[in-house]
Amino acid sequence: MLAGTLLAALCATARAEPPAAFPATVDRAGLLAWLKQETDIAPGQVLAVSPSAVTAVLGTIETTAPHGARMALRAEAIDPMVSDREGALSWHMLVEVDCPGRKVRQGPTTGYVGRNLLGEGRQIRPGSEAWVAPPPGSQLENVWRAACEADFQRPLAPPRSFSVAQAMTPVAASTPPPLALRPMLVHGFRSSAPAAVTAPKATAPTPPPLTTPVLNAAPLRAMAAVAEAPARRSNLAVQLAAMATRAAAEAVLTDLKARSVGAMQGLTAGVTSTNVGGKTIYRALVTGFSRDVDASRFCAGLKASGVACFVR
């Protein structure tokens, strides 16, 4: 029996997770080495470093009401005492930023028992409905600055040798413009270019009596056939965000569903993954539109409520 007890203890020890590692030093070199070894955070994602945690951005959605951003953030504990107190090594949250008002509003914070948002997750702090001014020098002030100040230098990112406008150019160029490259819908027919309308040339001979009615009636019959045909299911999707993790993309969709209950009826919200430049990104998409125009109207409604999106 003693041998069985010892064997069980040894197996439990073998299955136990290795103890969490924390940075040996909290200077730039120490943090960079720790990030590379223990996390999947790129140095350029880090917005703030405090004695307790490193805070990084997962994704940003531009908003118009108020003018600012909705940011998906994550944090990794760098102080074991903080980790023990919170019961978590990493946590995730959504923060809304009001640039003109210099205010932020925090959503619920979900903590995870493992590094990199892994393991069991639970809410460790509720969200707030109130907009607050971030305290000077705080992590929240860095979040506001990252969203609202073009010259904000992220603490662990390499010094910039080019302008913010230059840095954003590849991203803007890679984003497909909504509907700009899609065929136009002209009187129920798809065309790759606007139809040219020219006045008929006057001719001396009178057309045969049966020819004119046939030519004039053809477009009417075609339009009637299109009108009577069943509606084609659209294959367009509305994209809200592209995130570094699936959890962040799902959080964006969860927020959307909470804000747009009626508008989501009959639609499907989901996350797809794709490889871009050797990295996996996760897209938050809404699909299931009956017509192409419905996708455009849905996205226009989101923009009017302050949520950025585009039709793809």
CATH at residue 258: 3.30.70
Pairing state between β 238-243 and 268-276: unpaired
173, pLDDT greater than 60 = no
Looking at 119, 138, 159, the residue that finishes a domain is 159
Which of 159, 177, 196 finishes a domain?
159
Torsion of CA 147, 149, 154, 157, to 10 degrees: 100
Tell me the pLDDT band of 61, cut-offs 50, 70 and 90: confident
36 and 147 in a single domain? The answer is yes
Question: Is the pLDDT confidence value at 33 over 90?
Answer: yes
Q: What is the mean pLDDT of residues 192-197?
A: 42
Residue 182 lies in a domain: no
What percentage of the chain exceeds 90 in pLDDT? 24
Q: Note the pLDDT of residue 205.
A: 54
194 domain residue, yes or no: no
pLDDT of residue 46: 93
- Whether residue 227 lies inside any domain: the answer is no
* Beta sheet of 238-243, edge-to-edge order: 268-276, 279-287, 238-243, 310-311
243 domain residue, yes or no: yes
Q: Tokens representing 49? A: 């470093």
pLDDT of 144 higher than 80? yes
Burial class of residue 114, CB neighbours in 10 A (0-12, 13-18, 19+): middle
Choosing from 99, 131, 159, the residue where a domain stops is 159
Domain count, the chain: 2
Same domain membership, residue 154 and residue 34: yes
Q: Are residues 47 and 150 in the same domain?
A: yes
**What's the CA gap between 236 and 288, in Å, rounded?**
8
45: domain CATH number is 2.40.128
With tokens 């959080």, the residue in question is: 251
Average pLDDT over the chain, rounded to whole? 74
In a domain, 107, yes or no: yes
Predicted pLDDT at 260: 66
The CA distances from residue 152 to 46, 83, 163, 170, 202, in Å, are 12, 29, 11, 19, 67
- Asked whether the beta carbons of 89 and 138 are under 8 A apart, the reply is no
Is residue 229 in some structural domain? Answer: no
**Could you tell me if residue 257 is inside a domain?**
yes
Same-domain status, 155 and 252: no
Decide: 229 and 189 in contact? Cβ < 8 Å: no
* 155 and 245 fall within a common domain: no
**Is residue 232 domain-resident?**
no
Residue (of 181, 179, 208, 176) closest to 192 by Cα position:
181
**Are the beta carbons of 216 and 179 closer than 8 angstroms?**
no
Least Cα distance to 243 among 281, 271, 204 occurs for 281
What is the residue range of 47's domain? 28-159
**131, 104 contact by CB (below 8 A):** yes
